[in-house]
């Protein structure tokens, strides 16, 4: 099993080019199932979750080719409606094929994503909302077996809770529903806006009618398009924090700074200097880091996907800080490992109290989920000496070329078998 060896402590300096967004690519890939035509996607990140989604599409009958940095998806013969447990178990976003399969074929059998280290992560909101479009479903031996023999029918649906995945599944499915669908209490993550832009370019008729409300008029035709997926804001945020925590000086390029407003505000409040350019941010870390209180919340709040990373920075603050995790019930798996490196973090329920003024010590560590693994790298980058991070397959799910990108800006990091 591969591991990462990190030798701290170096200040990171230079430029990091941000890859395409994993979380925007996944629903866009699922949405290609709506059509029988050719779709060309640019800027898909080369990460494991995207490979898994492409394998899932292939298992459903899509033909996929690569040409330089373009992914060409041909759905001329896409006719299967069965998403197996093997492909959905490692990646919850597999459930996103349910909406488009039902919209196109009127029936589908899709594995439930199952448990996950960061919480139970049910899909009840997806299923209840789809049933309001006329879908009948049952759960049998870990599979959702769903059908809408008369096709989907538009409706007014208010999500009981903000869910990124459920909003995406419904936005995709409703394009082939008869009449009009109004979705309210939607998630408004930039990746959802990217999905809507993609669908509208394909010929769909989707409009935001207020902050969290969207109107979808059903269509019957979809056209061939070529589309460039947005940048990965979580990757960008991770490298911004890497610069702050190593007191480095990094340019983070290939991004849209406005999308990172919350992260920029938090990092400035903690003491970093940030220079905002058109498609780039420059961050200059500060030795003195201020303590703060952060709570994770849906966009435009502070993202849960950066909670583990910001916690590493807060370990270096001048006083104690508090993080409240409001999205997932069990997303503090990194804390035990950070404490083994000398951090003093106390968890009570969904609250972490983080003592400041910590100098991390190197250690042998175990990654537990995607963002937890990257937080261990950040801590290891500041610890004088050699740290080893095991189970990095979690990391490979979502970070493209992480060691290459970090090495280029001065980190001593290598992958070993």
Q: Is 201 in the site for ligand UD1 (CB under 6 A)?
A: no
Q: Is 369 in the site for ligand UD1 (CB under 6 A)?
A: no
Q: Give the Cα separation of 36 and 85 in Å (integer).
A: 25
Q: For ligand UD1, which is the closer residue by CB, 57 or 93?
A: 93
Please, which of residues 117-156 interact with ligand UD1 by CB under 6 A? 119, 121-126
| Angstrom distances, CA of residue 174 to CA of 26, 30, 179, 182, 267 | 18, 14, 9, 9, 39
Instruction: Give me the least distance between CB of 310 and ligand UD1, in Å please.
Output: 14
| Angstrom distances, CA of residue 331 to CA of 32, 305, 365 | 31, 10, 17
Find all residues with CB under 8 Å of 359, minimum gap 6, and list them: 342, 382, 383
Q: Is 169 in the site for ligand UD1 (CB under 6 A)?
A: no
CA dihedral angle for residue 229, residue 233, residue 236, residue 240, rounded to 10 degrees = 160
Q: Is 165 in the site for ligand UD1 (CB under 6 A)?
A: yes
Given candidates 31, 327, 338, 343, which one binds ligand UD1 under the rule CB under 6 A? 327
Q: Is 93 in the site for ligand UD1 (CB under 6 A)?
A: yes
Residues recorded for the chain:
417
Stretch that binds ligand UD1, among 137-145, 158-166, 207-215, 264-272 (CB under 6 A): 158-166
Return the beta strands (E) in 175-277 as ranges: 180-184, 205-210, 213-217, 225-228, 249-253, 273-276
Instruction: Give me the least distance between CB of 288 and ligand UD1, in Å please.
Output: 31
In terms of DSSP bridges, do strands 82-83 and 273-276 run parallel, antiparallel, or are they unpaired?
unpaired
Please, which of residues 231-250 interact with ligand UD1 by CB under 6 A? none
Instruction: Give me the least distance between CB of 8 and ligand UD1, in Å please.
Output: 27
Q: Is 304 in the site for ligand UD1 (CB under 6 A)?
A: yes
Q: For ligand UD1, which is the closer residue by CB, 136 or 319?
A: 136
Q: Give the Cα separation of 237 and 386 in Å (integer).
A: 25
Q: For ligand UD1, which is the closer residue by CB, 163 or 382?
A: 163
Instruction: Give me the least distance between CB of 258 and ligand UD1, in Å please.
Output: 19
> How many C-beta neighbours within 10 Å does residue 317 have?
20
| Residue corresponding to tokens 């009981």 | 160
In terms of Cα–Cα distance, which of 377, 336, 402 is closest to 245? 377
Please, which of residues 26-65 interact with ligand UD1 by CB under 6 A? 26
Whether 204 is catalytic:
no
By CB under 6 A, the count of residues binding ligand UD1 is 21
Q: For ligand UD1, which is the closer residue by CB, 124 or 265?
A: 124
Given candidates 161, 268, 279, 293, which one binds ligand UD1 under the rule CB under 6 A? 161
Residue 7 has phi, psi (to 5 degrees) of: -110, 110
Q: How many CA atoms lie within 13 A of 107 on its CB side?
A: 6
Given candidates 328, 332, 360, 399, which one binds ligand UD1 under the rule CB under 6 A? 328
Find all residues with CB under 8 Å of 207, minimum gap 6, and list them: 214, 215
| Angstrom distances, CA of residue 91 to CA of 129, 131, 397 | 21, 23, 9
Which DSSP category does 230 fall into?
A: P
Angle CA 193–196–197, to nearest 5 = 85
Q: Is 92 in the site for ligand UD1 (CB under 6 A)?
A: yes
Q: For ligand UD1, which is the closer residue by CB, 47 or 335?
A: 47
End-to-end CA distance of the chain: 6
Given candidates 62, 71, 75, 163, which one binds ligand UD1 under the rule CB under 6 A? 163
Residue nearest to ligand UD1 (CB): 165
Q: For ligand UD1, which is the closer residue by CB, 9 or 118?
A: 118
Q: For ligand UD1, which is the closer residue by CB, 103 or 123?
A: 123
Given candidates 166, 274, 341, 358, which one binds ligand UD1 under the rule CB under 6 A? 166
Instruction: Give me the least distance between CB of 364 and ligand UD1, in Å please.
Output: 27
Any idea which residues carry the catalytic annotation?
116
Residues in touch with ligand UD1 (CB under 6 A): 23, 26, 92-93, 119, 121-126, 161, 163-166, 187, 304-305, 327-328
């Amino acid at each position: 099993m591969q591991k990462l060896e990190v030798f701290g402590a170096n200040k990171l300096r230079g430029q990091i080019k941000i890859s395409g967004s994993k979380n925007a690519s996944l629903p866009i890939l699922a949405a290609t199932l709506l059509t029988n035509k050719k779709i060309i996607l640019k800027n898909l990140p080369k990460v494991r979750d995207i490979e898994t989604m492409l394998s899932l599409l292939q298992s459903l009958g899509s033909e996929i080719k690569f040409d330089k940095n373009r992914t060409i998806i041909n759905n001329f013969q896409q006719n299967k409606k069965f998403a197996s447990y093997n492909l959905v178990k490692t990646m919850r976003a597999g459930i996103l094929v349910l909406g488009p399969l039902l919209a196109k074929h009127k029936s589908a059998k899709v594995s439930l994503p199952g448990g996950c280290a960061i919480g139970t992560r049910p899909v009840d909101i997806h299923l209840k909302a789809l049933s309001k479009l006329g879908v009948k479903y049952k759960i049998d031996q870990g599979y959702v077996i769903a059908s809408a023999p008369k096709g989907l029918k538009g409706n007014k649906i208010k999500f009981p809770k903000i869910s990124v995945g459920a909003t995406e599944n419904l936005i995709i499915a409703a394009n082939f529903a008869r009449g009009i669908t109004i979705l309210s209490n939607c998630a408004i993550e930039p990746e959802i806006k990217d999905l809507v832009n993609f669908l509208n370019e394909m010929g769909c008729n989707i409009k935001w009618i207020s902050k969290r409300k969207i109107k979808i008029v059903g269509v019957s035709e979809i056209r061939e398009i070529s589309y460039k997926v947005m940048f990965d804001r979580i990757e960008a945020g991770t490298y911004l924090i890497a610069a702050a925590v190593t007191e480095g000086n990094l340019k983070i390029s290939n991004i849209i700074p406005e999308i990172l407003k919350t992260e920029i505000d938090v990092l400035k409040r903690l003491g970093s200097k940030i220079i905002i350019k058109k498609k780039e941010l420059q961050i200059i870390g500060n030795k003195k880091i201020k303590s703060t209180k952060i709570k994770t919340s849906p966009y435009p709040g502070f993202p849960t996907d950066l909670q583990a990373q910001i916690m590493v920075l807060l370990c270096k603050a001048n006083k104690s800080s508090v993080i409240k995790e409001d999205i997932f019930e069990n997303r503090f798996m990194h804390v035990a490992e950070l404490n083994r490196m000398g951090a003093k973090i106390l968890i009570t329920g969904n609250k972490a109290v983080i003592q400041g003024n910590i100098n991390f010590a190197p250690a042998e560590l175990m990654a537990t989920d995607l963002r937890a693994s990257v937080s261990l790298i950040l801590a290891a980058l500041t610890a004088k000496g050699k740290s080893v991070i095991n189970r990095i397959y979690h990391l490979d799910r979502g970070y493209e070329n992480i060691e290459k990108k970090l090495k280029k800006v001065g980190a001593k990091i290598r992958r070993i078998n």
